[in-house]
Structures are given as structure tokens and as C-alpha cells.
Amino acid sequence: MRVAVFAFILALHSFCARAQTWEHNGSVMSIADGSSRVFTYVKPRDGLAVYPGTVLFFGKRTGNTYQGTAHVFSPRCGATAYAVSGPVSQDQRSVSMYGRRPKLDPSCRIVAYADDNLVFNFIEPNVATETHDPDASTLICLRPVFMEEMKPNVVCRSD
């Protein structure tokens, strides 16, 4: 079931929206505005077993709460999905989601769970521009490539 559930939902339609830039654990992330919320890696931190365009979170925002599916990644096992939810800060510049992250054995079987806290902090557009971030002012169009994988399809400059 892992990633297939959210990939199936996205396989029903592609979308294109203005991206916002966020920071998560030293990685630069993007999230597209719209009814669905999808955090994808733009610049993964060093040593992380993901590539740009990898989906970390897929879900929805209801009021001031995000709810959906996050993924833990390993070079051997790939992505393993787990449920998360949590609030948006009052100033709308931070999202904190909580869940029980699966721990995998060498055969990629879930052997335990650990509490997990995913924190995303909004990066101001002028800060991204000052650091010469080429993704600070882009439109990102995502479409499923395979049932268990999301990659950026088109990146269109909006300047």
C-alpha cells in the first residue's frame, strides 16, 4: 500500500500551481498552492536518500490543520508511508505534523514505530531570491511518472 495510495489519487489528475519555498531539516522544500498539499524536495540536504522532486508529504489542509501521508526514506527500502497530522502556526509560517514513523529491519519489514515530528518553516521569497535560489519564483507542474514515484514534470519560469 505504501506510496501507491497517494500516487493513485494523483494519477487521476495532474496539477500545476505556484510553488512556495519551505525549509525542513536542512532541506529546501516546495509546496504547491491548491486544494491538495504536497511537500516535495527542491534541494535535499546532504546525505539524504532522495532526489529533487521526491514527495515527502501528500495530504490536505482543513482549517489550520494538515493531515495526510509522510514518507521515511532509506537507500535499501525506498519510501515507506505513514500517517501524520498537525497544526499550522497562527502566523501561517510554520507547519508541524506528528505521526508514528516506521522503523525497518534489513529486509524492509516494519519492526517498530517511533514518534516523529515534521516541521516546515516558510522561506520568505526575498530571502530565497537573495540566496540566488532559482526555484524561488517558479511554477511547478507535477504528474505521476510511475504509481510509486513523483517527479517534477515541467518547471516554468513565471518572471
pLDDT at 144 over 60: no
Encode pLDDT of 96-139 as tens digits: 999 999 999 999 999 999 999 999 999 987 554 444 444 444 44
Question: In this predicted model, what pLDDT tens digit does every residue of 92-105 receive, in sequence order?
Answer: 999 999 999 999 99
Q: Could you report the per-residue pLDDT of 6-26, keeping only the tens digit for each?
A: 443 343 333 444 578 999 999
Domains, the chain, ordered by start = 4-157 (2.40.160)
Per residue in 45-62, pLDDT tens? Answer: 998 889 999 999 999 999
Pair 135, 12: CB distance under 8 Å? no
Burial of 105 (0-12, 13-18, 19+ CB in 10 A): exposed
pTM passes above 0.85: no
Q: What single-letter amino acid sits at 153?
A: N
Is residue 141 very low, low, confident or very high in pLDDT (cuts 50, 70, 90)? very low
Per DSSP, 145 falls in state E
